[in-house]
Structure 1
């Protein structure tokens, strides 16, 4: 039996292997070595698997020091866990910091026992320990306090999972693994205190151990229950070994089960793309290249890491508008379906198609068609999984195979033949401006300050033509120099890219950058947030050199456009906000007295963090603005993104209908809300449809911010047909 370095009565410390024989010590070190080897091999095997994935288009390990520091801040602060869910944030903070503290504390003990003591004995001939006195007292207090937080945090997780039965924690991939994980953590926390309490009771309850307040309390409980000092001494080896073996098994199992997310999630945050979703990876000019999802190894190493980083928390599922409306999509299941298939395949399972229309594919085409590309899943994910990147890859596979919705096929045909999604003649693109009492400048012929990209819907859709005329009137009233491309303007390509038509997107991008190059202007301004996003974040990423010599590509532009950001790309609300600030429109903020609510478009808000400009404009008109519960980054998608505008999808409740209900029932003003304000042509289209199908036509009016401003400056008569 081991003996403490100094008698406990004389020194404030505790024996590490109290009541454990020398043979027991040897067995423990052997088991610990095995556990560590199994752990290290498992981690190596996991990361070796990532290397089999395709190379990622984006350099994710550059400036690694900064990346690690930022990832440490994100993980340590638990900022993503607190988003939308205070309970989960507190719970995860307690678990994370409690677990880290207990792990560090175990490491300190190992350093003392296996490092410092052996070093001093070898060098000085006198074994010494720093695990004594004030250090020991502080160590014991911190370990007990943080260990208690850990147990409380795990208890909160158990309550939420098994008592409250929070719906987002359960799904098709919920398994015994999840139960084992949470209950093992709970046992490790509680079992540590049981072991400590038995030791304190068995060593005569020395007074300095009162700092171990939880262990002391446990010792009191055992004593009150009739356990004597001798009984505690006898039972201690059993409690110690039970706790030690469970801890070692847990360590060994980390790379092979759910606990691996402690490593993979941090790695995922380190290697994240801060522009993920708002820009998508390009494809090689080689038509024979694998640009989709022919096999699981078509996915990049980062996409495979995404799969392993998923903790099954269901945050993405809980905010997904497609899932909420009853579409066949659960973003968590897509990621975990891919992971499950990969693991089954690695274990010798049968290979099958990744994504297809029907059959036994891993992912159904209908599932991908349901995605609205709103990025709510990515915004909610606490471990930075880039769902949209994998989804787009599978959409490309469907497009390459011709397995796409017939409505999308019509859109593609219209674009190839006419250059717009409506299939209308290009010569009519600027007809929306005919009713105006002033002429809109042709930016191809005159230098302007603002080159205005109007977009498809404001050009061809009757309801959105009014918005285009409103904006033109605003710019004219502010005496701003602006012009448009007339019939040289085509569709921007944003949403067809997200449904998988990459080469047509490149063709449209090439056409536009050539058109931009032929014009003299200072800033590019967009009506549609989708256009704003793709011009700002995606066109500069295209390497046109790869495609310039392709006879199928009708452009000659080479290199990259606006790679250094020399051309300022703006959404129109940002431009007009500047005009209002310098009083170019004469708004006094008292012109209108409507009670309104504002809907954040996904591509303006979540994609590009612009939340205030539209609100400033609404308030500048004098309207009383009331926020919906889901606003800014938490905004609920209209349902039009990702091709949703063009497809007929079976839904229990349309996202637009749900959003209008929220405006009228869940805002503070309730049914007093008169106008539902938007800043996106797609949103306008979807909500006008939702008013009809949801029965809201008599309850609320859908208006664009531009229409409010035009009314506020008294120029609304100029925009009517």
Structure 2
């Protein structure tokens, strides 16, 4: 036994480098230095790649200390991993905290040996109560680490969870998870062999605090291994564990383990407004510079996005385009771009277009056209990859290169020529008001509290015109000061921007802002969540200063209801309904309660959809989906209505499918027909529900007045 171990034989500690010898110790430190050098070089090369990317239009590192702390909280809490998946949350928590504890434990041991004792000449603190506490905590957290890795192995190989497998699943995924398992188990085997091997020369009873290592020691004894055999085997076991650990450290920047660094960096650099607020195209950009045509055109943050992807498949599992059979898998797009970049760096890939219609491009045009811009992928991603921003920029490249989808091109041309996607004359925009028995005020001619932006579909589409008239009746009933722009209103541009037509979007924004400025108003209220999103989050890029005064109609009506302006008692209707959260109102802008408060105020029973609030499933109309024809089975709208009738608690007892978005109304009315649900459920806007409640209240009041009159007679 080395002299150090003999000197410590009676102390509550453990021998270090036991039976390894001074030469072995020197070899270990040399290999550790080599592994760290390889690690640092790999990290340097990664950062060199990011530096080659384009400048990011968003300020990513402002208030860096706060960003670091916020990212640390996200990582420490694992809140993104727990979202939608308790099993994965627990699994990742066990692995993360177990791994971090083992790293910290190794660092403490190294500090004691190499700095505190050797360099500073102080007596070791790795003894007594400190050692006992250290050993217990390290064993307990290391055990959680092994349990977590075991859960991952079970889900990946036994259950074969669908979202963990895809076109980019490869040997590196197997090596990563099995290396973690061998590191965890190997540490305990090494500990158990050490405890048994040293038991011949010292009292090891205190090592029971290392309860997992002690258990391994007991198993070895039951298997017939004695102290002498354990001592002889220890150097082989120790070196096997040490070499695997050093190889893992060296491999971190070159394979999947790099996500331990890139994911945290991605959280630090995240943009909380990503998706809901798209970056502008630089004013001096030429058509060839709009959208990525080569990998270097992606910003450094977008390249970091590619490296941060862990292949977990959460984005794929919630993507409505993928669920409906469209050729889009958000994970594959991110990993295709990463694979192309790495292939180019290794000289294994020829340069091709990043995105194009057919051919040998990295991403096919139809894949990008399939995106509904619903942001479900971004909401589900545990490392905050900004899919929608990148997808939009690739759509901009398609637009600038003349490869836009024909149906989308027709809609865009209608907006360019007529200011709306229907291609109807501007003068017809206010025609929906003709069937009202009151005149809708003109905000261009009088001061109003609310400038009501009606939108294309409520103005021109027959079904949604009924919604517009219903909202007008609600405003009249509550004596709201409101007005509309009549023919001066134009398309809001939200979805025009997301299909890649940035130039037209900027023109629409500037024209609408000019129209707003001609009016005397306090607030803007929107029928459409898409308008609400772009007015409140994006128009300030073009000089609009009233973004904080923009509201969706449900928010305004909620205030009216709470103030008693509509006089509802909450007992007017007795239907059972379910409510669909629109992507642009809910997931984009976090408004979930206002619509529900208004729905409940009518007296109906609200039965929640299984996928609701942040987890809501897109209708399929966003990102230009309303204008396209896809071979889908089932359509997102059909799947959603099926969910309402089969997966809610009320099931077939749901009378109405309630929406708060004109696009949702259009998509679900279509899905109700194509899915064969016409006789099973009605699609109703919240405003229509309110008008029914108001009519019921008036009817009850009239009936009550009639009874009083009869009694008086």
TM-score bracket for the superposition, by shorter chain length:
over 0.9
Alignment check: 8 A CA contact 2:407 2:628 kept: yes
Q: Secondary structure at the match of 2:112?
A: helix
Please give the residue correspondences for 1:434-449 in structure 2 after superposition, counting only pairs within 5 Å: 434-449=434-449
Q: 1:535-556, CA deviations, whole angstroms, 9 ceiling, x for partnerless residues?
A: 000111x2x4xxxxxxxxxxxx
More deviation, 205-214/88-97 = 205-214
Computed over aligned residues only, the root mean square deviation of the Cα atoms, in angstroms, reads 1.3
Deviations along 1:675-699, one digit per CA (max 9) or x if unpaired, are 0000000000000000110000000
Please report how far the alpha carbon of residue 8 of structure 1 lies from its aligned counterpart in structure 2 after TM superposition.
3.8
Structure 1: distance between partners of 2:570 and 2:130: 64
* Unmatched 5+ stretches in structure 2: 700-713
The residue that corresponds to 1:313 in the other structure is 312
Q: 2:153 aligns with which of 140, 149, 158?
A: 158
Q: Give me the whole-angstrom Cα distance separating, in 2, the residues matched to 1:117 and 1:350.
A: 55
Counterpart in the other structure of 2:21: 21
1:259-658 to 2 correspondences below 5 Å? 259-288=257-286, 290-348=289-347, 349-540=349-540, 542=541, 544=542, 560-562=543-545, 565=547, 567-658=548-639
Give the whole-Å Cα distance in 2 for the aligned partners of 1:633 and 1:660. 18
Q: Does 2:664 correspond to 1:714?
A: no
Cα deviation code 1:96-153 (max 9, x no counterpart)? 00000000100001100110002332xxxxx510101100000000000000000000
Q: What is the match of residue 705 of structure 2? A: none
Aligned mate of 1:665, from 620, 636, 646: 646
- Matching of residue 51 in structure 1 with residue 51 in structure 2: yes
Contact 2:374–2:622 (CA<8 Å) still a contact in 1? Answer: yes
Preserved CA contact (<8 Å) 1:4 1:14: no
Task: Report how far residue 5 of structure 1 moved.
Answer: 6.3
Deviation at 1:7, TM superposition (A): 3.3
Q: 1:155 to 1:55 in 2, by over 3 A?
A: same
The answer for the alignment partner of 1:549 in structure 2 is none
Q: Secondary structure at the match of 2:611?
A: coil
> Alignment partner of 1:35: what SS?
helix
- Which stretch shows the higher mean deviation, 277-286 or 1-10? 1-10
Contact 2:533 2:584 in 1 (8 A): yes
On the 8 A contact 1:328/1:367 being kept in 2, the answer is yes
CA–CA separation in structure 1 for the residues paired with 2:276 and 2:490 = 21
Q: 1:189 aligns with which of 171, 184, 191?
A: 184
Query: What does 1:17-96 align with in structure 2 at a 5 Å threshold?
Result: 17-96=17-96
In 2, Cα distance between equivalents of 1:611 and 1:643: 24
Return the alpha-carbon distance in structure 2 between the equivalents of residues 75 and 276 of structure 1: 19
- 2:143 maps to what in 1? 148
The corresponding residue for 2:707 is none
Q: For residues 120 and 10 of structure 1, what CA distance do their matches in structure 2 show?
A: 24
Once the 2 structures are TM-superposed, how far is the Cα of residue 716 of structure 1 from its aligned partner? Answer: 11
CA positional deviation for 1:476: 0.7
List per-residue Cα deviations over 1:329-348 (Å, max 9, x = no partner).
00000000000000001111
Q: Find the aligned partners of 1:517 and 1:472 in 2 and give their Cα distance.
A: 23
Aligned equivalents of 2:448 and 2:416: distance in 1? 30
Distance 1:327 1:88 in 2: 27
- Mapped to 1, the partners of 2:116 and 2:482 lie a distance apart of 74
| Structure 2 CA distance for aligned equivalents of residues 9 and 258 of structure 1 | 42
What secondary structure, in the 3-state scheme, does the structure 2 residue paired with 1:216 have?
A: helix
Displaced runs of 4+ in structure 1, greater than 3 A?
A: 5-9, 715-718
CA distance in 2: counterparts of 1:284 and 1:178, whole angstroms: 40
SS in 1 for 2:627: coil
> Which residue of structure 2 lines up, in the alignment, with residue 138 of structure 1?
133
SS in 2 for 1:589: coil
* Distance of aligned partners of 1:461 and 1:271 in 2 relative to their CA distance in 1, 3 Å threshold: same
Decide which of 211, 220, 223 is 1:222's aligned counterpart.
220
CA positional deviation for 1:3 = 2.6
Residue by residue, what CA displacement relative to the aligned partner does 1:161-197 show, whole Å, maximum 9, x if unpaired?
Answer: 0000000000000000000000000000000000000
Kept in 1, the 8 Å contact 2:5–2:16? The answer is no
CA displacement 1:463-508 (0-9 Å, x = unmatched): 0000000001101110010001111100000001001000100000
Secondary structure, counterpart of 1:214 in structure 2 = helix
- In the TM superposition, 1:231-246 aligns within 5 A as 231-246=229-244
- SS in structure 2 at match of 1:452: strand
* Distance across 1 between alignment mates of 2:472 and 2:502: 32
Q: Secondary structure at the match of 1:434?
A: helix
Report the Cα offset of residue 293 of structure 1: 1.2
**When the two structures are superposed, what TM-score results if normalisation uses the length of structure 2?**
0.96
- How much has 1:287 moved relative to structure 2? 4.8
1:402, distance to aligned residue in structure 2 (A): 1.1
Structure 1, residues 575-618: CA drift from partner, whole Å, max 9, x if none? Answer: 00000000000010000000100000000000000011111111
Matched, 1:699 2:677: no
Distance 1:232 1:155 in 2: 27
Q: Which runs of 5+ in 1 are unaligned?
A: 122-126, 545-559
CA contact (8 A) 2:452 2:483 kept: yes
1:547 is aligned to none
CA contact (8 A) 2:450 2:525 kept: yes
Task: Give the superposition deviation at 1:286.
Answer: 2.6
Q: CA deviation at 1:2?
A: 3.5
Partner SS for 2:312: coil
- Please give the alpha-carbon distance, in whole angstroms, between the structure 2 residues aligned to 1:484 and 1:4: 87
Aligned residues: 694
1:553 maps to which residue?
none
Match of residue 198, structure 1, among 175, 178, 193: 193
Partners of 1:705 and 1:272 lie apart in 2 by: 35
Structure 1 Cα separation of the partners of residues 358 and 695 of structure 2: 56
Find 1:676's aligned residue among 657, 663, 676.
657
* Alpha-carbon displacement from aligned partner over 1:694-717 (angstroms, at most 9, x marks no partner): 000000000000000001011899
